[in-house]
Chains A and B, each alone.
Chain A
């Protein structure tokens, strides 16, 4: 087990700059998720840490070792691939044993490690089978067991659940979380699925266009996005960003006046508020603003409203029994401690409260 540290990693593919000087530290035994849209460089970063790609600039440390120049086999890592990459010509047992055989482990250790990894992944009764005889979910388990069997210092996972169907993904997600909490292996996990990231991570590194935009605990990333990209990317539906006029230290939305904690950069400021943090009322309220309901979407656990506030559109969720029709006007109060203030020019959050 070891920490991972990357410093100023830069990588270009032809003319495309995939990574623009990324630095990141993963603590020992920590589970960190690299989250971002496709093309943001998250997989490239993972592959550079694995040694499957070479960065033009920057260094990679695993534990105290500078592994920048080392080939993958010398880095004491294990990797789980998106398409599993289970060896089709070997039985499940030989797949899991592959890394141990390369390490020239003793027969006793080999058997013990394979059986332990297989038991952890609940595939101990499939050991004699070939991958062609397994389902997608079972192959996924073999891939994880194969990675765990070598007792790596660092476990790297590249969208390991994205090829599974929705139900199986949910099941495997919970299982992975239990498993990695048990094995306490330092893990770096790549995904574009924000729910997966939220559910698994100790910390999330949100990436966009080759930069790490925000690196924090899941709830912090969710509630205090560093900029409009993070707020928009995480959460479904995404965070609302309302342009609001500034008067002195106050932001004014109709009868609602909110104190801005830091000096506003200009005459307008962006107010970030999550759809579930807007409380809706059918009757006029003091300290509120009105918006017209355009669309009502019943989603089961709640109703999703699309609203018009002046020229701007926003989303809000209300309880399923809330009696509302399209065309109605509602009064809204945001939860005052869940607000996020951002610079409308740069999209960056204003300095911390």
Chain B
């Protein structure tokens, strides 16, 4: 019984630890300027106002950064699914020499520090003429999202029995028809989750985006470079817009994250 109390207490601390900053950011983003500096702070927004938000969107470059972020994230999503899903399918369906090594290698790319890559990458991007473009940032973000895309889709396809495809073959499908008619409908929710996950990774990524852009900043890169010399309300509004999409996406795909971590099966 005592253990249970302790467990609940720990869980409570963790919840407060995570939720309190989000709560403060959210309430203050929707308060007027004076309450941002007020002390002590109330539980609810004292003066509900869209002033801070409006100010945030009024700042030069915010809209462009949001547009850039969306472009980069959308490209990352498309690249990750188009490259990751076939690789995941191959890992799930075919036995080939070095399959396990390949699987490990994919994970290892995540262990490689981006900081070491950053300078050579920037130089290379300048030479290729894709420095400071959405496409260039999307390429790096795809590299970051791809390991997840490959591993999640591979476990996704593994969960679809091979016999279903074979049954489709015997019933008159070629391989592509069988994939489109049987495997794809069953894999669609998981593929959607993979896509959203790639989107979130790109949306939240700040390091590569900061290094590889100058004028075409994504939202995190833009905020990072402008936060230090911005008024406090602006920081709250910026923080709010960084957190919200990620929260929503994680909430939608949490079921598939559990699969990825092997906690539960579909």
Using CB atoms and an 8 Å cutoff, list the residues of chain A in contact with chain B.
50-52, 71-73, 75, 77-79, 81-83, 85, 87-89, 98-99, 102-103, 146, 150, 156
Contacts and interface: CB of A to CB of B under 8 A. Distances in A.
Contact of A146 (B163, B171, B174, B181): B171
Contacts of B166: 50, 52, 72, 79, 81, 85
Given A52-B166, A81-B167, A87-B164, 10 more contacts: A71-B174, A78-B171, A79-B167, A87-B168, A89-B182, A98-B168, A99-B171, A102-B171, A102-B172, A150-B172
B245 interface: no
Nearest to A81: B163
4 interchain residue pairs of minimum CB distance: A102-B172, A99-B171, A85-B163, A85-B167
Contacts of A77: 170
B160 to A, nearest CB: 9
Interface of B: 161, 163-164, 166-174, 177, 181-182, 185-186
13 contacts: A50-B170, A52-B166, A52-B169, A72-B166, A73-B170, A73-B172, A75-B170, A77-B170, A79-B166, A81-B167, A85-B161, A85-B166, A146-B167
B93 to A, nearest CB: 13
A13 to B, nearest CB: 10
A83 B163 contact: yes
A73 B164 contact: no
Contacts, number: 59
Contact of A103 (B161, B172, B182): B172
Contacts of A71: 169, 174
A72 B170 contact: yes
B177 A78 contact: no
A71 B171 CA distance: 11
A102 B169 CA distance: 10
A204 B251 CA distance: 57
Contact of B177 (A50, A83, A102): A102
Most chain A CB inside 10 Å of its own CB: which residue of B163, B166, B167: B167
B82 to A, nearest CB: 23
Nearest to B188: A89
Most chain A CB inside 10 Å of its own CB: which residue of B170, B172, B173, B174: B170
A82 B166 CA distance: 12
Nearest to A146: B171
B94 to A, nearest CB: 14
Contacts of B177: 102
Contact of A79 (B170, B173, B181, B186): B170
Contacts of A83: 161, 163
B173 A78 contact: no
Nearest to B169: A72
Contacts of A103: 172
